[in-house]
Amino acid sequence: MRVYHASVTVRGEEHFEISDVTKSVSSAVHDSGIRQGIAVVNALHTTCALFVNEFQGALVDDLKALVTRLGHADAHLGNALLGRSIALGVRDGELVLGRFQSIIFAELDGPRQRELAVQVIGE
């Protein structure tokens, strides 16, 4: 069994921004050389979020509306509600995601530079 560590940098330009980071995380998994296993991805900050869902306009708009209604501590509460880490299977060197699933990063208190820690475990 092998363990691989990588870092993915996300640079936001807005106070509240939602982006698809699937390609960046997939690239880190590919670089690991691990064919079968699990990938764990953690956002290393308390005012951003990381989750799996469909990346489409209506969902992005609804998420923005939801988080802005949370009040004064919206960035921290958004993190608590949306999550900060994901675990995905790795099969044949690729992330196991459903047809419409993407890895979504939500910047809740930007603009900032953020780091995602990627750990791939397997063979």
- Cα–Cα distances (Å) from 44 to 105, 106, 112, 122, in that order, read 12, 13, 13, 23
pLDDT at 96: 98
Topology of the domain covering 2-122? Jelly Rolls (2.60.120)
Q: Which residues of the chain have pLDDT under 50?
A: none
Whose CA is closest to 81, among 97, 63, 98? 63
pLDDT at 68: 86
pTM over 0.85: yes
